[in-house]
Homo-oligomer: A and B are copies of this chain.
Amino acid sequence: MAEVSSATVSRALTSPERVSEATRERITAAVVETGYTVNQMARSLRLRAAKTILIAIPNIGNPFYSTILDAVVQDAAERGYGVLVANRLGGDPTLGLKDYFYSNRADGLLLFDATLNLEALQDLPLVRGNRPLVLSCDDIPDAPLDLVMTDNRDAADTATRHLIELGHKRIGTVRSRTTPNVVSERHSGFERALKRANLLIRQDWIWQGDHTIGGGIVAAESWLALNERPTAMFCGNDETAIGFISRLRQAGIDCPRDVSVVGFDDIAVAQHLSPALTTMRQPRYYMGKVATALLLDILEGPTAERTPTRRILKSELIIRASTASPRDFN
């Protein structure tokens, strides 16, 4: 219609300066007229780049991850990349299959889900296809991977120390099974703080949660059944803390009067709960941005062998109303 070859159209669209102004105008007019859009499939096939990244998230429903997804989608789009979403990839026993399903649709992988060991990871079609991979929010021990996460151990230490400084001596915790490495880091920070203060680490004051509200409720029920109860709890994330406090309230136990609770993440509702939740704020939107930028830089950078980058971001203690000195403190 513009009376030029397809090659010229292609040039006009991708590098306009390589085409004479007159031709370019005719082409632009024809594009508008016909509503032409480039076929991304054909372009990808030719360029061997899908201009798409895959993000694997443990649980989209969790506001912690949906904030990250927000950041990723935003920044990827700005750089011309689409974002394909995979939910609960890691926990899925058919992982290989699923990954096969996604492989070749995406140029790189943003992995926010570390429920795999290094071996399983190496076996993924996406990884074997030599696609770049950035791990985030969680670590896989001994994996020489690009990584963006927060200082979980120090953060857990800080949160626990906050309870100790309020005068608590009987401190428990709800861990989680879902993100093994993060959790063990947090747990070791928790223990480090207790040890430093010469406080007892009691096994019956350590509960297993799963980073959901329901997990917090279950922990609270077992807590209620105890003869000797901790006066303060470090919860693995905010959801757990919400469920825990909610269940105790039903049983007439008041937070923070009867028990102090500190959460982790600082999700949006945390400050609007009653009591407003004391928590460790993770810079999750920023974490999503950093991980995306890193992945796209790798994707667009030289293909030479690179040594993995490790970016560790800081978390911040946000003191609100769910923590207070124990009643017998004077």
Contact = CB atoms under 8 A, between A and B. Distances in A.
Interface of A: 35, 37-42, 44-45, 50, 52, 59-63, 66-67, 69-70, 73-74, 77, 80, 82-87, 98, 100-105, 125, 128-129, 213, 242-243, 245-246, 249, 268-269, 271-274
B98 A77 contact: yes
Q: How many copies does the complex hold?
A: 2
A69 B57 CA distance: 12
A52 B105 CA distance: 10
Given A41-B45, A269-B269, A128 B246 contact: no
Contacts of A128: 35
Contacts of A66: 60-63, 66, 69
A58 to B, nearest CB: 11
Nearest to A104: B40
Contact of A84 (B42, B83, B269): B83
A45 B47 CA distance: 13
A124 to B, nearest CB: 10
Contacts of A41: 41, 44-45, 50, 104-105
Contacts of A98: 77
A39 B131 CA distance: 14
A213 B269 contact: yes
Nearest to A245: B272
A37 B129 contact: yes
